[in-house]
């Protein structure tokens, strides 16, 4: 380990000058607050802490944070999102559209802030909406330590401050996706495009994780500490884990932190409590901490399994969707950061005058390593690796090791003298003669850590695009009297960089020579297969539509909706839509792209041409893209769970196995007194995300729950597993895989049929009186049939009679049989129930065979309905429905008297 610098001076990386950190602040009325205090004495409920007033006197021998911007506010882009309460800096570069908020600072501005990053420019990785916590509620925030512990703990932030020693450490956090844009240019990964500024450093104040865990007393056999936040996401709460011995080791420096640079944690950074894991990827530092669970195995949280992994490079995005065991392999999970570096100056597109510049130019940048290792070497080359030059390295982190004994900073003990681990970035610089830059075509930089792990020359591409750390290359363009410098990429969708330029010119970025064509190398014509697209627009329509015009059509009169930026009028299809008019009303005034494209067939997509009315203008698209509409977090609890235009989240609380491939999934609604709001005969939509592609999986189901039941929702689902030669069901297998406690999105109701009771129903809004229901179903198609049948049979005043024919393969496949039998026993005078099996056992005494013409001819017969008094309800697999429809048409049944659920 390199010896510590004993001087109180330090080379500040942004200027190269020797300075003290910082000049003494001016005297203020609060200067008397600087005396040493224990963590339990300071007032965390102050909305911010004056970060120019650290609890040290005079000139500091270590870096202190730059001043934050006082004029930041809620940005206009966030007004229409769930993050409308969060103050942000407009300089941050948004990487994933408007919402969720994933950003990095411009690289030059990040570097120029120096060793510590203000909250304004600190990178942010959010998976969804930011939980809203008012200042007045901070002290009451609770979290628990549970699982394999002898002493489970539940405590508030006030207790954490009062009962445990506070410490303050400088820690660099790095997103595992830092520099991912480079991988995305080579070949698109499943991640969005981080530039080289996906890292930041701050002073974090909190409690050492090991102190908390020792108080909880982990049991023998416990090996992991799992962390879970309060952020509600499409696949449950965000959670992950680290090894328990790491969490308990003081050398690892893991904190439960409540302050950042002396201030209460900003909302984007975990207000009011988070985990900070030094030396590991930022994805392990869970924000908005609610639970620490001690376990024998690594976390089974969706985000631990399907995020922050480096799969083998031969696994393509297409292959990865079919490799659940590969995703769950802990060998591919990322913990410690790898060694990495980047050049910050010269900046991208910076120009250096050859006539006015000094004799040399100072090339500067950052480097970091993982797991507490120190970066020991940074080297630059001007001849693509034939020869190398050694750069100077400065370690601002070391200055904190020189702090006086018992020094306190922001209410926490600053004692790093005993620890040699390095958890912060360092800065390198090298003076290069301008004449050498003029003669070179590029500058390449690499770093090495104390274990002699050096950055690789070439990229290791992987499906998630994480841990990208090949040599950082800046191209030099000699343009007459000026040198122009070009970085590899620019973040997000910002154009620029030599990698994009080379790829557009036909260069092969994977050829080991940065895409440059070698002498004698033949030009290869690479043609990409054109994407197969279905035309969904009327090319003769050139109308531009604004958001105000769209919102005039957000009701049931002329409902307009948007798919892929195009506007459609659903009025003409209200009666013909298979899901009923409610499906279109629910999309009115909304961007329905995700739902429409996930649910509808190619034929349905082609039909959109007939309903196309124009194109939404760019400004309006940005407004619609501002994130999903969610109920305000401080609104009154809703009595009805389902909403027609907004996805609502329910928690999976139980799974009950009914047969080998069927389960009842129980979901907890938002509160115990909430009803589902689903009318009898209608269904709801459920949404999950594909664990790999992140595409929405949306399917419609009819719950088993009584419509009057409150607080719970029960859905019976047949799971279609993968079999040799046949893919299973995306949604059913995804549901089967999610753990208890996972969120699922719901929307509705939808459907064109509704049973109002006592023989009265509506079909596409038209009322009809029915004297007999003929219900024909197979497999899990019993669920909508069951719902209507239960309504008829549990109402003693309902005169409607029912015939139910339920076809299955074997007796074990008959779903809800006990419930059906019990209902019919008590109502034999108005219901006849028939089961038929295609593969019966020898003990089966009921009907045998499929639901065929002979059976329907005998039990249903020719259509004799008068004034629509008989109505056939059909639900089952598509081949069964088609077969029954064809047979009934042969028996003179009209389509008006046959309804497919």
Q: Determine the pLDDT at residue 120.
A: 97
Q: What angle do CA 141, 145, 149 make, to 5 degrees?
A: 165
Q: How far apart are CA 743 and CA 688, in angstroms?
A: 9
Angle between helices 817-825 and 782-793 (to 10 degrees): 20
Domain 648-750 has CATH 2.40.30.10: yes
Q: Determine the pLDDT at residue 635.
A: 54
- Reported as a single tens digit per residue, the pLDDT across 738-797 is 888 888 999 989 888 999 999 999 998 889 999 999 999 998 899 999 999 999 999 999
Q: What is the DSSP letter of 373?
A: P
Average of pLDDT values for 324-350?
Answer: 96
pLDDT greater at residue 728 or residue 155: 155
Fold of 753-900: Rossmann fold (3.40.50)
Q: Taking 90 as the threshold, does the pLDDT of residue 9 lie above it?
A: no
- Reported as a single tens digit per residue, the pLDDT across 20-36 is 333 323 233 332 222 23
Q: Label residue 694 by pLDDT band (50, 70, 90).
A: low
Q: How far apart are CA 507 and CA 795, in angstroms?
A: 74
Q: Determine the pLDDT at residue 321.
A: 79
Q: What are phi and psi of 786, to 5 degrees?
A: -60, -40
Domain limits, CATH 3.10.120.10, in the chain: 544-624
Domain 340-504 sits in CATH at: 2.60.40.650
Domain limits, CATH 2.60.40.650, in the chain: 340-504
Element (H, E) at 568: strand 566-569
Average of pLDDT values for 704-708?
Answer: 88
Token couple for 523: 């030009």
pLDDT greater at residue 172 or residue 689: 172
Strands 351-353 and 289-295: unpaired
Express as a percent the part of the chain with pLDDT over 70: 87
Let me know if 175 is a catalytic residue.
Answer: yes
Express as a percent the part of the chain with pLDDT over 90: 63
Considering 175, 426, 802, 875, which one is annotated as catalytic?
175
Three-class SS state of 495 = coil
Q: Taking 60 as the threshold, does the pLDDT of residue 167 lie above it?
A: yes
Q: Determine the pLDDT at residue 598.
A: 60
Distances (CA, A) of 278 to 170, 231, 284, 517: 9, 22, 9, 42
Distances (CA, A) of 302 to 102, 327, 478, 741, 855: 19, 10, 50, 11, 47
Strands 375-381 and 442-449: antiparallel
Q: What is the pTM of this model?
A: 0.73
Considering 235, 308, 421, 468, which one is annotated as catalytic?
308
Considering 120, 231, 268, 307, which one is annotated as catalytic?
307
Q: Determine the pLDDT at residue 364.
A: 98
Least confident of 448-452, 595-599, 665-669, 757-761: 595-599
Token couple for 600: 């509808």
Let me know if 30 is a catalytic residue.
Answer: no
Q: How far apart are CA 685 and CA 32, in angstroms?
A: 61
* Residue found under tokens 């020693």: 165
Q: How far apart are CA 21 and CA 35, in angstroms?
A: 19
Least confident of 161-165, 353-357, 799-803: 353-357
- Taking the CA atoms of residue 83, residue 84, residue 88 and residue 93 in that order, the dihedral angle to the nearest 10 degrees is 60
Q: Taking 70 as the threshold, does the pLDDT of residue 616 lie above it?
A: yes
Let me know if 307 is a catalytic residue.
Answer: yes
Q: What are phi and psi of 167, to 5 degrees?
A: -130, 160
Q: Determine the pLDDT at residue 526.
A: 39
Distances (CA, A) of 328 to 292, 323, 332, 721: 21, 9, 8, 18
Average of pLDDT values for 119-127?
Answer: 97
- Reported as a single tens digit per residue, the pLDDT across 833-844 is 999 999 999 999
Q: Determine the pLDDT at residue 692.
A: 67
User: If you write DSSP's letter for every residue of 214-235 in order, what string do you get?
Assistant: HHH-BPTT--EEEEEEEEEETT
Q: Determine the pLDDT at residue 423.
A: 97
Q: What are the residues facing 472 on neighbouring strands?
A: 445
pLDDT greater at residue 52 or residue 522: 522
Q: Determine the pLDDT at residue 632.
A: 42
Least confident of 40-54, 307-321, 354-368, 666-680: 40-54
Q: Label residue 8 by pLDDT band (50, 70, 90).
A: very low
Domain 544-624 sits in CATH at: 3.10.120.10
Domain limits, CATH 3.40.50.80, in the chain: 753-900
- Per the rule left: phi > 0, alpha: psi between -120 and 50, beta: everything else, 177 is alpha
Q: Label residue 586 by pLDDT band (50, 70, 90).
A: low
Q: Determine the pLDDT at residue 833.
A: 95
- Reported as a single tens digit per residue, the pLDDT across 80-94 is 788 999 999 999 999
Average of pLDDT values for 416-435?
Answer: 95
- Reported as a single tens digit per residue, the pLDDT across 204-263 is 999 999 999 999 999 999 999 999 999 988 788 999 999 999 999 999 999 999 999 999
Instruction: Note every long-range contact of 1-7, with CB atoms under 8 Å and residues 24 or more positions apart, other chains counting.
Output: 1/374, 1/420, 1/450, 2/374, 2/376, 2/395, 4/398, 4/401, 4/402, 5/395, 5/398, 5/399, 6/402
Q: How far apart are CA 100 and CA 584, in angstroms?
A: 27
- Reported as a single tens digit per residue, the pLDDT across 496-507 is 999 999 999 989
First-to-last alpha carbon distance for the chain, in angstroms, is 71
Domain limits, CATH 2.40.30.10, in the chain: 648-750
């Amino acid at each position: 380990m390199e010896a510590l610098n004993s001087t109180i001076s330090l080379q500040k990386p942004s200027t190269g000058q020797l300075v003290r950190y910082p000049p003494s602040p001016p005297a203020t009325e609060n200067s008397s607050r600087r005396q040493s205090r224990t963590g339990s004495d300071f007032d965390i409920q102050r909305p911010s802490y004056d970060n120019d007033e650290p609890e040290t006197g005079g000139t500091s021998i270590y870096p202190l944070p730059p001043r934050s911007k006082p004029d930041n506010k809620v940005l206009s882009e966030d007004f229409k999102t769930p993050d409308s309460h969060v103050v942000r800096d407009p300089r941050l570069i948004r990487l994933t559209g408007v919402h969720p908020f994933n950003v990095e600072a411009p690289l030059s501005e990040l570097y120029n802030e120096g060793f510590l990053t203000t909250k304004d420019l600190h990178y942010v990785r959010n998976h969804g909406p930011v939980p809203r916590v008012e200042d007045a509620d901070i002290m009451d925030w609770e979290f628990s330590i549970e699982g394999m512990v002898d002493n489970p703990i539940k405590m508030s932030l006030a207790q954490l401050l009062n009962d445990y020693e506070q410490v303050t450490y400088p820690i660099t956090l790095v997103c595992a996706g830092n520099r991912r844009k480079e991988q995305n240019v080579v070949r698109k990964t499943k991640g969005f495009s981080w530039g080289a500024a996906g890292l930041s450093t701050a002073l974090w104040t909190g409690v050492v994780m090991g102190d908390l865990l020792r108080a909880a007393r982990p049991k023998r056999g416990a090996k992991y500490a799992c962390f879970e936040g309060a952020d509600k996401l499409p696949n449950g709460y965000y959670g992950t884990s680290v090894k328990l011995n790491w969490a308990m080791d003081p050398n690892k420096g893991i904190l439960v932190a409540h302050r950042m640079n002396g201030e209460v944690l900003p909302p984007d950074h975990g207000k009011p409590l988070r985990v900070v894991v030094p030396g590991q990827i930022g994805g392990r530092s869970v924000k908005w901490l609610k639970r620490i669970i001690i376990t024998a195995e690594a976390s089974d949280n969706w985000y631990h399994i399907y995020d922050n992994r480096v799969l083998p490079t031969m696994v393509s995005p297409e292959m990865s969707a079919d490799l659940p065991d590969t995703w769950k392999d802990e060998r591919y999970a990322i913990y410690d950061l790898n060694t990495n570096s980047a050049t910050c100056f010269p900046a991208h597109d910076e120009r250096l005058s050859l006539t006015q510049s000094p004799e040399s130019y100072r090339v500067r940048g950052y480097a970091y390593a993982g797991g507490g290792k120190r970066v020991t070497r940074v080297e630059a080359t001007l001849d693509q690796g034939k020869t190398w030059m050694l750069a100077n390295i400065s370690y601002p982190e070391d200055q904190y090791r020189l702090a006086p004994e018992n020094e306190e900073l922001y209410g926490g003990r600053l004692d790093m003298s005993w620890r040699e681990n390095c958890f912060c970035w360092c800065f390198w610089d090298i003076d290069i003669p301008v004449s050498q830059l003029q003669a070179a075509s590029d500058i390449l930089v690499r770093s090495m850590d104390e274990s002699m792990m050096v950055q690789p020359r070439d990229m290791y591409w992987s499906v998630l695009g994480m841990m990208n750390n090949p040599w950082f290359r800046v191209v030099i363009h000699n343009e007459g009297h000026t040198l122009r410098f070009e970085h590899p990429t620019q973040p997000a969708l910002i154009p620029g960089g030599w990698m994009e330029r080379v790829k557009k010119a036909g260069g092969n970025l994977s050829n080991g020579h940065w895409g440059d064509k070698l002498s004698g190398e033949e030009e290869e014509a690479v043609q990409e297969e054109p994407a197969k697209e279905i035309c969904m627009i009327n090319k003769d329509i050139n109308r531009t539509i604004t958001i105000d015009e769209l919102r005039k059509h957000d009701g049931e009169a002329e409902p307009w909706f948007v798919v892929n930026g195009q506007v459609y009028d659903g009025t003409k299809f209200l009666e013909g839509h298979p899901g009923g008019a409610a499906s279109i009303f629910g999309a009115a005034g909304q961007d329905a792209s995700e739902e429409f494209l996930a649910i509808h067939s190619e034929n349905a997509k082609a039909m959109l041409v007939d309903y196309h009315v124009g194109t939404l203008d760019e400004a309006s698209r940005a407004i619609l893209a501002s994130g999903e509409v969610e109920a305000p977090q401080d609104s009154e609890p809703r009595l009805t769970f389902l909403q027609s235009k907004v996805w609502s989240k329910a928690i999976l609380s139980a799974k009950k196995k009914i047969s080998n491939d069927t389960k009842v999934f129980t979901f907890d609604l938002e509160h115990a007194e909430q009803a589902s709001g689903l009318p009898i005969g209608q269904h709801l939509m459920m949404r999950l995300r594909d664990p790999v592609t992140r595409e929405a999986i949306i399917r419609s189901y009819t719950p088993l729950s009584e419509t009057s039941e409150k607080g719970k929702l029960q859905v019976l689902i047949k799971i279609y597993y993968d079999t040799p030669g046949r893919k299973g069901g995306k949604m059913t297998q995804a549901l089967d895989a999610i753990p208890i406690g996972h969120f699922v999105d719901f929307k509705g109701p939808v459907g064109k049929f509704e049973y109002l009771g006592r023989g009265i129903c509506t079909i596409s809004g038209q009322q009809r009186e029915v004297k007999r229901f003929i219900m024909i179903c197979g497999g899990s198609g019993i669920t909508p049939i069951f719902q209507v049948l239960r309504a008829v049979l549990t109402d003693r005043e309902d005169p409607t009679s029912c015939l139910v024919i339920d076809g299955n393969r074997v007796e074990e496949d008959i779903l809800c049989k006990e419930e059906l039998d019990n209902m019919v026993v008590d109502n034999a005078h108005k219901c006849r129930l028939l089961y038929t099996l295609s593969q019966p056992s020898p003990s089966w005494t009921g009907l045998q065979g499929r639901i065929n013409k002979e059976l329907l001819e005998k039990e249903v017969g020719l259509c004799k309905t008068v004034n629509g008094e008989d109505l056939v309800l059909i639900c089952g697999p598509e081949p069964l429905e088609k077969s029954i429809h064809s047979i009934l048409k042969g028996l003179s049944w009209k389509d008006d008297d046959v309804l497919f659920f």
